[in-house]
Amino acid sequence: MTMEDEGASLATARTPSGRSALVVPAILAAASTLVVIGILTMDVQAKDKPGPTFFPWLLALAGYALAAALAVSFIRHPDELARAEKKFRTYTDWAAAGWLIGGLLAFAVLLEILGWILAAALLFWCVTRAFDSKRPLVDVSAALLLSSLVFLIFGVLLDVPLPSGILGGL
């Protein structure tokens, strides 16, 4: 081994390869902290259970758990991340980005017209297309099920009205 090879291998060993990925769990933990601050500063009058702070607490706890799991994974396996970064350093899937952005725009425009159930199902389907799903019937079925479940949770448990759109009279 020459001096140059040895120096290059030492320089590679000293670099924190894959550690830049820790920014993601840090942002997630910061967002969860903002949710907790928002919960603690809420003026809650009703003492009904589960109450308006129940789901924000679930989201904050899930955010902290996911941030911790991601951080542990990134710390335990930094080399896998470094190899992935080198392999896809400049790759952008513009078709996937188009499906995501188009889905969000369609959701925003069509929410009042179609209502929550159909607009959220459309958004979910666009996300599955962005991730290159090959099962449109399963995707649409799951989208309708999930958006209906969210509609029921917010409408029944939390008493938060979501737009019903064209399905409102049914």
Report which residue type is found at 47.
K
Residue 50 makes CB contacts below 8 A (sequence gap 6+) with: 157, 158
Distance CA 125, CA 119 (A): 10
Q: State residue 154's pLDDT score.
A: 83
Residue 118: count of CB within 10 angstroms of its CB: 20
- Number of residues written out for the chain: 170
Stretch 63-73: mean pLDDT, rounded? 94
Retrieve residue 122's tokens: 């459309």
For 38, how many CA atoms within 13 A lie in the half-sphere containing its CB? 14
Q: Could you report the per-residue pLDDT of 121-161, keeping only the tens digit for each? A: 999 999 999 999 989 899 999 999 999 999 988 887 777 88
Q: Rounded distance, CA 158 to CA 50, Å?
A: 8
pTM strictly above 0.95: no
Backbone angles phi, psi at 18, to 5 degrees: 85, -10
CA distance 111 to 117: 9
Please write the tens of the pLDDT for every residue from 27-39.
Answer: 999 999 999 999 8
Q: What is the pLDDT of residue 13?
A: 47
The answer to which of 20-24, 102-106, 113-117 has the lowest mean pLDDT is 20-24
Q: Confidence band (pLDDT; 50, 70, 90) for 45?
A: confident
Give the integer Cα–Cα distance in Å for 162 and 64. Answer: 28
Average pLDDT over residues 62-68: 96
Confidence band for 106, pLDDT divided at 50, 70 and 90: very high
